Amino acid sequence: MKKHLRIVPAQTALGFLALATLLAFFCLPSCKDKASDPLWVANQYFAALEKGDAAKAYDYLSDRALLIKNSKGGEMMFMARPDKATYEKIVQGLPRIEVTSIERLTDMSAEGKLEVFQVQARTKERGRNVERESSKFLLYLAPDVEGHWKVLLPRP
């Protein structure tokens, strides 16, 4: 005589709970809002600029002016992004760049308030005898009111 395993409602509920827990454990990290990661935002911003997509790069810019005071009493002023048409004209006039590295500067960053990255890039030119210049510069990001990181534009 064969014995059949009989599933009772409590076992079914526990099975679904275990399955839901496993799915949450493996799926939720990939569903995380990527705009809450400043390095991801910096990479996406430069990827848009490298492709010449000023409209997409514009979306990663901070829409508010900001004044940041450091521990030594110095101040840094950042301006709000200009209107979209002005930004697109500015980007068209700039040389295309290719980012070779982005490094987080922990000593200049304030956890959750300001992220500073050192970016190394070179001009993206085509041709046989074109010398590609390389330079380093700092990129600043701060969270907006929704907690999404945005690129800050230093005031000249």
**CA–CA separation, 53 and 151 (whole Å):** 16
Report the alpha-carbon distance of residue 141 to residue 135 in Å, rounded.
Answer: 20
Six token digits for residue 138 = 């700092």
Query: How confident is the model at residue 72, as a pLDDT?
Result: 78
- At residue 28, the pLDDT reads 47
Please tell me what DSSP assigns to residue 126. Answer: -
Please report the pLDDT score of residue 107 as a whole number. 87
What are the structural domains of the chain? 34-154 (3.10.450.50)
- In single-letter form, the type of residue at position 88 comes to E
Tens-digit pLDDT profile for the chain (156 aa)?
A: 556 555 555 555 455 555 455 445 454 444 456 768 999 999 999 999 988 899 999 999 999 999 988 777 788 899 999 999 999 999 988 888 889 999 999 888 888 889 999 999 988 776 555 566 788 999 999 998 888 999 999 987
Tell me the whole-structure pTM to 2 decimals.
Answer: 0.72
pLDDT at 57: 95
